[in-house]
Amino acid sequence: MRFIENDNALIFQHQGELGRIEAWGKDSLRVRTTRRGAFSNKEWALTEAVDPCKSEICIETNWPPFASITNGRLKATVNHAGVMSFYKDGELLLREYHRMYSGTYSQESRCLKLPSRTWKAVIGGDMYSLNLKFESHDGEKIFGMGQYQQRNMDMKGCVLELAQRNSQISVPFAVSSLGYGFLWNNPAVGRVTFGNNYTEWIAESTKDMDYWLTVADTPKKIVENYTNATGRPAVFPEDRMGLWQCKLRYRTQDEVLAVARKYHELGIHIDQIVIDFFHWTRQGEWEFDEKYWPDPKAMVDELHSLGIKVMVSVWPSVDCKSKYFNTMIDRDLLVRTERGTGETFQFQGDCADIDAFNPETRMFVWELCYKNYMSYGIDAFWLDCAEPEFGSYDFEHYRYCEGPALAVSNIFPQMYSRAFWEPMDELRNGPIVNLIRSAWAGSQKYGNVVWSGDVPSTFESFADQLQCGLNMGLAGIPWWTTDIGGFMTDDVNDPKFRQLLVRWYQFAVFSAVLRMHGDRGPHNIPRLDDREFGGGYLSTGQPNELWSYGEECFRIMKSYLDIRLGMHDYIKELYQEAHDNGSPLIRAMFYEFPEDENCWNLQDQYMFGSRYLVAPILHLDEFKRDVYLPAGKWKLTSTGEEFDGGQTVTVDAPLEYMPVFERIVVSG
């Protein structure tokens, strides 16, 4: 083992592995190792310039050699076998799992031949598979990590695929109840297991091991440190804090205008209306089908006159019959396959996806979208299928200009969003707010509202979305939303679905973005024409406006929209806080009450900012529910009744009302 102090960093070399540990922001360290002799020097998520920190480095050269590096409250040690341990204020926090005999007898010295870091070369290339293990802690709880469609909010005991899929979002930042945050700064496809015997991180194809560790006393401070290193969103525009109107495919500009005019006649303001997929002719043509959208500029001008912003859907897939396909494949602007045909996606035709890692690809797509959308006044883009959604998620089959998909796939949605954010930022026409279906660490700074994907319209799925949103916020993504009522509905006339819709809408009012969307059955609406291309021949869902579900649903949703609009100034404060320190708008109970052990076990209620405790109704025909109130004074918003905290109360929840408690701040 050889240790070197260089440029405020601890460098070590051991049995063909090069390591580097350095201060990287307040009470934080970045840790890298490689078998390649030199680091690839990719920033990945660590893009922000952090305040310079002077670390304390100590190297002991006597046998057994030993070294340490300290940055504020966080200390890392490396022993003679290359095993790393981390300490917070002198207390052991995290240690690599090492079961090898390495020349001295110690607690970790075993004959199992299990090193903490296992590298296996990918034959014929310069990539390795990597397996990193840490000791496990009894009683630890782990949150964040993005969005996984499961019932568990606490990730301890879970196995998580590090890969992007429709409705699964890998954002590999974990917040521990022990007071640390851990970023796996590696976009490779892989897996993490937060086991009871050990924690295991796997990258299937990589050049470097790269992670970042921070310590703090509260989850709020951990997220602040993390977003200081990875970025924070801009200030969200006030003119999009209200209702966004969307459905599965407004097929014509007349349909869009008819909906906008009716909202206006009813005296209901919508902030944004969304034009979904196949308003184009073929995928990869990124333009309006002239047959059904004859005058987009006139449409946009009228919508703007009503105070409504306009968003259009963009997909990253390119149909092989589209007019740009040959140009794009000739210029190597598309994802490549390792063998066989070049098809990566199949929907209404054989398609290949754009290579969003290629700057030339991003510019090619942007120039078309500027010409065919933004020049008409379109305000924002819905970046759908952003994983991208491959025909099958065989990541070893695909390759980008950055490298094999196994090595870089997870950052694709961020690169896709940057195809729009970067040129829009240069135009400086106002705040950038695009909608996207996937994200990675750091995506929060690229104008992304992330939604939870094409999820079922069930109460079970609704409950899953709540923990998804809370964990996304803890992973640094504060602009998060869902399809109200879920995406996939068989029958809009089913009373059970209408109950679900109302309960989901009530929750959405107390979340970052209020957005109506979904594919509403039954699918019995005739097609507009029989062409084999263009938007006319595709089906569409049933109406999805506030008035589409009967008088009772309309009355309740309209009343909750009024509540949303009445909270405008408060929501503005929450968005400002997200910009200032990275705090999400919807917050796990322990985010605001970390000292309350009960709050670490709650996942069916949450805080909307620091003022409102929200208890959504997550079950069919549930008209009462228990709510835990932390210490303090609380007021039930439906009745004005006040309660002392530190207890669980049972409250009524008729269809017209979702229990919300306002925190009473006692002055003096």
Q: Is the pLDDT of residue 103 over 80?
A: no
Out of 51-60, 106-115, 283-292, 431-440, least confident range: 106-115
Mean pLDDT for 185-197 is 98
Instruction: Report angle CA 649, 462, 175 to the nearest 5 degrees.
Output: 75
Q: Tell me what pLDDT residue 587 has.
A: 98
Do 237 and 430 form a contact (C-beta atoms < 8 A)? Answer: yes
Question: What digits encode the pLDDT tens for the residues 495-532?
Answer: 999 999 999 999 999 999 999 999 999 999 999 999 88
Using alpha carbons, list the distances in angstroms from residue 157 to 142, 198, 626, 655: 9, 10, 27, 36
pLDDT at residue 471 is higher than 70: yes
Confirm whether 224 is a catalytic residue: no
CA distance 167 to 516: 17
Looking up tokens 């992973």 gives: 475
pLDDT at 102 over 70: no
Q: What is the pLDDT of residue 516?
A: 98
Report yes or no: 587 and 606 within 8 Å, Cβ to Cβ: yes
Catalytic one of 276, 387, 464, 483: 387
Phi, psi of 548 (to 5 degrees): -80, -5
Among residues 604, 612, 497, the alpha carbon closest in space to that of 564 is found at 612
* Contacting residues for 227 by C-beta, under 8 A, at least 6 apart: 444, 476, 581, 582
Residue 106: pLDDT above 60?
A: no
Query: Pick from 459, 448, 450, 451: which is nearest to 421 by CA?
Result: 448
In the predicted structure, residue 668 carries a pLDDT above the cut 90: no
Q: Which long-range contacts (CB under 8 A, 24 or more apart) does 624-629 make?
A: 624/650, 624/651, 624/652, 624/653, 625/650, 625/651, 625/653, 625/659, 626/650, 627/651, 627/659, 627/661, 628/589, 628/598, 628/599, 628/602, 629/661
Question: Strand pairing of 243-245 and 272-275?
Answer: parallel
**Packing angle, helices 412-427 and 359-372, rounded to 10:** 50
Which pLDDT tens digit goes with each residue over 570-591? Answer: 999 999 999 999 999 999 999 9
Q: What is the pLDDT of residue 123?
A: 77
DSSP category for residue 133: E
> Residue 77: which residues within 8 A CB-CB, separation 6 or more?
66, 67, 68, 84, 85, 86, 87
pLDDT, residue 232, reads 98
Residue 303 · residue 310 · CB < 8 Å: yes
E strand spans, 79-188? 84-88, 91-95, 117-121, 128-135, 142-147, 159-162, 169-176, 180-184
Question: For position 537, what pLDDT does the model report?
Answer: 85
User: Burial, 423: exposed, middle or buried (Cβ in 10 Å; 0-12, 13-18, 19+)?
Assistant: middle
Tell me what the mean pLDDT of segment 211-237 comes to. 98
235: its two tokens: 């200030």
Which pLDDT band, with edges at 50, 70 and 90, does 332 fall under?
very high
> Does 237 sit behind a cis peptide bond, omega within 30 degrees of 0 on the bond before it?
no
Cα separations in angstroms, 339 against 66, 122, 336, 396: 48, 18, 9, 10
| Token output for 667 | 């002055």
Alpha helix stretches (DSSP H) within 290-346: 296-305, 325-330
Active-site annotation holds for 387 = yes
Going from the N-terminus, what domains does the chain have, and what CATH number goes with each?
Answer: 2-230 (2.60.40.1760), 315-368+385-430 (no CATH), 588-664 (2.60.40.1180)
Rounded CA-CA distance 148/166 in Å is 10
Q: Are 167 and 461 in contact (CB under 8 A)?
A: no
178 with 117: CB under 8 angstroms?
no
Active-site residue, selected from the candidate residues 22, 108, 355, 384? 384
Of the candidate ranges 106-120, 399-413, 637-651, the one whose mean pLDDT is the lowest: 106-120
Any catalytic annotation for residue 662? no
pLDDT of 166 strictly over 70: yes
Per-residue pLDDT reduced to its tens digit, 410-443: 999 999 999 999 999 999 888 999 999 999 999 9
Residue 109 binned pLDDT confidence (cut-offs 50, 70, 90): low
Q: Among residues 454, 573, 577, 662, which one is catalytic?
A: 454
| 338: number of Cβ within 10 Å | 11
Chain centre to alpha carbon of residue 244: 19
pLDDT classification of 614: cutoffs 50, 70, 90: very high
Q: What is the reported pLDDT for 124?
A: 73
pTM confidence score = 0.97
Q: Percent of the chain at pLDDT above 70?
A: 98
Structure tokens at 666: 């006692």
Q: How confident is the model at residue 126 (pLDDT cuts 50, 70, 90)?
A: confident
Give Cα 181 distance to the centre of its chain: 17
